[in-house]
Amino acid sequence: MAMNDLEVRNKQVILKDYVSGCPEESDMHVNIVAVTLKVPEGFNGVLVKNLYLSCDPYMGGRMKNKPGGIKPGSSIRGHGVAKVVDSGHPDFKNGDLVWGITNWEEYSLIDSPESLHKIEHTDVPLSYYTGILGMPGMTAYGGFYQVCSPEKGQYVFVSAASGAVGQLVGQFAKLLGCYVVGSAGTKHKVDLLKNKFGFDHAFNYKEEPNFDAALKRCFPDGIDIYFDNVGGKMLDAVLLNMRPFGRIAVCGMISQYGNNQPEGVHNLMALVGKQARMEGFQAANYYHLYPKYLEMVLSYIRQGKIVYVEDIAEGLESAPAALAGLFTGCNVGKQVVEVARE
Amino acid sequence: MAMNDLEVRNKQVILKDYVSGCPEESDMHVNIVAVTLKVPEGFNGVLVKNLYLSCDPYMGGRMKNKPGGIKPGSSIRGHGVAKVVDSGHPDFKNGDLVWGITNWEEYSLIDSPESLHKIEHTDVPLSYYTGILGMPGMTAYGGFYQVCSPEKGQYVFVSAASGAVGQLVGQFAKLLGCYVVGSAGTKHKVDLLKNKFGFDHAFNYKEEPNFDAALKRCFPDGIDIYFDNVGGKMLDAVLLNMRPFGRIAVCGMISQYGNNQPEGVHNLMALVGKQARMEGFQAANYYHLYPKYLEMVLSYIRQGKIVYVEDIAEGLESAPAALAGLFTGCNVGKQVVEVARE
């Protein structure tokens, strides 16, 4: 590559071909191109240096052959934290820190920077803006406070509870005075739930032959709120254990993403008997509440009332394995890829 | 039977044994006992003469071996219209017409008459108080207006649409200015939907090899509201056709009542993508709105803006077949059993 003064190497993570089940490391490869560290003449966007990239379950869906997804040969797209290197947009200047949708590469040209959030608080780890202070945080906040209509003293169950979203939902519920139980897939994660995040109880679903029995043990009086990150058999068992007027916030169904035909859920008739509600939601629907959320959660973080566990992979080369690992439960806490420190 | 002056024969419909799938005619038999047409000394309830009995899908569940169900050897219990013959309760007097829970027999002693609704409007058929003016009416009203949050111009789908509840939901939706499509199981019922109830479109689900294709044909822009009376495969197909922020009111799942293990529903992940809500409900939760509903719906009936189709079986002997027929779709409109005219 012949480079001019402002031209540098730009490492990228490329989608090789559409994914059918869950993404695997081999579905991506690392490529190097050249990038000029200046926005093109007349370009109304920004050029950013990516610092932290977020591995999120929804990205698996974007790698399938569906409208609006990532095209083979293109770089992976997802949430991240970045620093503005050059700006053609009046609202952004060099050195601004931002979070939002970016590409999996060292430097990215972003043509609609209006969708980026400017980062104003830097007394907390910058990587938090891929998690507790970013999209997963808004997912937990919108899903729990808005969709679940929680009340003090209610019985709350969270699946994938040590993940990016689950660990927050559990802590929000505890702060509200709920009884909180979480499920996760390793002993280490279960220990985190009980000892670090303050859940009242937790269990390793891989060691439970009968989810219904496990739930009845943890919730002898039933479940008011289920924050569902996994779908499938666990959802089916929860339906049998709902309390009257219970709420199920459907955040995701990671247990099903690898199946071309998702497993059937058999116990929906329980919704009628229990007059229960099941509601799907997306964080983007609650972004207008972000300033309010940020104020609340920064205060909790600074007071030590909420902790956030991250699993940080070093370097863009580690990104394909980190993303794939999300679907097999390799991550402990929020999975982040650190591309550069600053 | 030795009878005193006030003693008469009381025909009853008895549950022979617990039902496993859907109830069949042979699960019940008709029995004759004696009844004294006077409330016992000190009894705080009422003795009623049953006029119309209601066949409702929920009754199938009460005939299974489950807590709160009907015991073998006892008479079937359900909603009905009755006349007070003798009263030990200060709020009721001879000749009062009531609707509420009664037994499948000619005369019933009711020990908690507080649960009965007094009938004040008799310019409409009395049998309507088993349907449009009774529990199915409140089911349609609560389910559509409260659970579905309907708005003018929205796209509404109703399954089992010519039934006791479905025909009302469709007409309510039309009166609100919605686009309404219904499914039913015979050509005759489909004709009723289009020509009598004013649905915009209707289809016979038994002639549709692919429910998803049928729905896409009727709803090229998707479904805002699904009033679900059937569950199973139709629900699964609807999930693929929901519009953003769509609502599914789960009223019942009659397609599943005969299965010991209900069919699996595979497309719940669509709730997340569409930020859609699915909610189970029961009419009893909306009974506080009954006076308001009655005012609205009586006015519609008197103006001819709502019609109500009933399928009236004559005589208590016909009740077992009428109830069983509900589960195979034999009824056309609300299934009622006429026990006596007055």
- CB < 8 Å to B235, chain A: 268
CB contact under 8 A, A261 and B266: yes
Tens digit of each residue's pLDDT (9 = 90 or more) over A90-118: 999 999 999 999 999 999 999 999 999 99
Tokens linked to A142: 């919108």
Is B259 part of the contact surface with chain A (CB cutoff 8 Å)? no
From the list A235, A275, A282, the residue facing B272 with the nearest CB is A282
**Cα-based distances in Å from B117 to A80, B104, B294, B335:** 61, 18, 12, 20
- What pLDDT does B4 receive? 65
Instruction: Give the nearest partner residue to B264 out of A253, A264, A280, using CB atoms.
Output: A264
Looking at the predicted structure, is the pLDDT value of residue B5 above 80? no
Which residue of A64, A165, A247, A271 is the best one to mutate when testing the B interface, meaning the one whose CB has the most B CBs within 10 A? Answer: A271
Whether residue A258 has pLDDT greater than 50 = yes
Q: Who has greater pLDDT, B66 or A158? A: A158
Q: Judge whether residue B320 has pLDDT over 80.
A: yes
Interface membership of B77 toward A (CB under 8 Å): no
Q: Is A276 on the interface with B (CB under 8 A)?
A: yes
ipTM computed for the complex: 0.93
The sign of the dihedral angle between the CA atoms of B91, B92, B97, B102 is positive
Mean pLDDT value across residues B133-161: 98
CB contact under 8 A, B273 and A263: no
Residues on chain B touching A261 (C-beta within 8 angstroms): 266
| Percent residues over pLDDT 70 in chain A | 99
Segment holding B325, helix H or strand E: helix B319-326
Backbone angles phi, psi at A248, to 5 degrees: -120, 115
| Å between B269 CA and nearest CA of chain A | 7
Average pLDDT over residues A256-266: 88
Q: What is the pLDDT of residue B1?
A: 46
Whether residue A263 and residue B266 make contact (CB cut-off 8 A), yes or no, is: yes
Q: What is the DSSP string of A166-232?
A: HHHHHHHHHHTT-EEEEEESSHHHHHIIIIIS--SEEEEGGG-S-HHHHHHHH-TT-EEEEEESS-H
Which residue in the set B231, B275, B285 is minimally distant from A268, CB to CB?
Answer: B231
Query: Is A274 within 8 Å of chain B by CB?
Result: yes
Q: What's the CA gap between B106 and B139, in Å, rounded?
A: 27
> Residues of A with CB below 8 A from B250's CB?
268, 271-272
Q: How far apart are CA B336 and CA B339, in angstroms?
A: 9
Contact call for A272 and B280, based on CB within 8 A: yes
Average pLDDT, chain A: 96
Whether the per-residue pLDDT at A2 is higher than 70: the answer is no
The CB-based long-range contact list for B3-7 (8 Å cut-off, 24+ gap) reads B3/B34, B4/B36, B6/B36, B6/B37, B6/B38, B7/B34, B7/B35, B7/B36, B7/B37
Mean pLDDT of chain B: 96
pLDDT digits (tens, 9 = 90+) for B305-316: 999 999 999 999
Q: CA-CA distance, B151 to B174, in Å (whole number)?
A: 11
Dihedral pair phi/psi, residue B262, rounded to 5°: -60, 150
Residue in A231, A274, A277 closest to B268 by CB? A231
Percent of chain B with pLDDT over 90: 93
CA A10 – CA A7 distance, rounded (Å): 9
Task: For residue A279, give how far its alpha carbon lies from the nearest alpha carbon of chain B (Å).
Answer: 4
Question: Are A7-131+309-338 and A135-284 the same fold in CATH?
Answer: no
Mean pLDDT of the region A137-158: 98
* Contacting residues of B for A253, CB less than 8 Å apart: 268-269, 272
Q: Per-residue confidence at A261, pLDDT binned at 50, 70, 90?
A: confident
The nearest alpha carbon in chain B to A256 belongs to B269
* Nearest residue, CB atoms, A269 vs list B256, B272, B282: B256
CA distance B174 to B171: 5
Q: What is the DSSP string of A79-132?
A: EEEEEEEEESSTT--TT-EEEEEEESBSEEEES-GGGSEEP---SS-GGGGGTT
Report d(CA A134, CA A298) in Å as an integer: 12
Q: How far apart are CA A304 and CA A281, in angstroms?
A: 29
A7-131+309-338: CATH topology is Quinone Oxidoreductase; Chain A, domain 1 (3.90.180)
Work out the number of other CB atoms within 10 angstroms of the CB of residue A3: 11
Q: From CA B61, how far away is CA B259, in angstroms rounded?
A: 12
Subunit contact B253:A269, Cβ cutoff 8 A: yes
d(Cα B17, Cα B8) in Å, to the nearest integer? Answer: 27
Q: Say whether residue B284 is in contact with chain A using an 8 A CB cutoff.
A: no
The string of pLDDT tens digits covering residues A12-44 is: 999 999 999 999 999 999 999 999 999 999 999
Q: How many CB atoms lie within 10 A of CB B24?
A: 15
pLDDT tens sequence across B62-114: 999 998 899 999 999 999 999 999 999 999 999 999 999 999 999 999 999 99
- Identify the CATH assignment for B135-284 out of 3.90.1150.10, 3.30.420.10, 3.40.50.280, 3.40.50.720: 3.40.50.720
pLDDT value, residue A319: 98
Question: How many C-alpha atoms does A175 have within 13 Å on its Cβ side?
Answer: 20
Q: Measured between alpha carbons, how far is A46 from B150 in angstroms, rounded to an integer?
A: 43
Q: A172-203, pLDDT tens digit by residue?
A: 999 999 999 999 999 999 999 999 999 999 99
Tens-digit pLDDT profile for residues B252-298 = 898 888 887 899 999 999 999 999 999 999 999 999 999 999 999 99
Q: Which of B253, B271, B274 sits opposite A278 (nearest CB)?
A: B271
DSSP H helical ranges for A243-289: 270-273
Mean pLDDT of A228-250: 97
Are B283 and B130 in contact by the 8 Å Cβ rule? The answer is no
Q: Chain A closest CA to B266's CA: distance in Å?
A: 4
Shortest CB distance from A272 goes to which of B250, B269, B270?
A: B250
What residue segments make up the domains of chain A, in order of their start?
7-131+309-338, 135-284
Interface A–B counts its CB contacts (< 8 A) at 92
Q: CA-to-CA distance for A119 and A6, rounded, in angstroms? A: 26
CB atoms within 10 A of CB B74: 13
* Beta-carbon separation of A261 and B265 below 8 A: no
Band of residue A3 on the pLDDT scale cut at 50, 70, 90: low
Residue A255: predicted pLDDT: 85
Tokens of B161: 């649409």
Query: What's the pLDDT tens digit per position in A83-94?
Result: 999 999 999 999
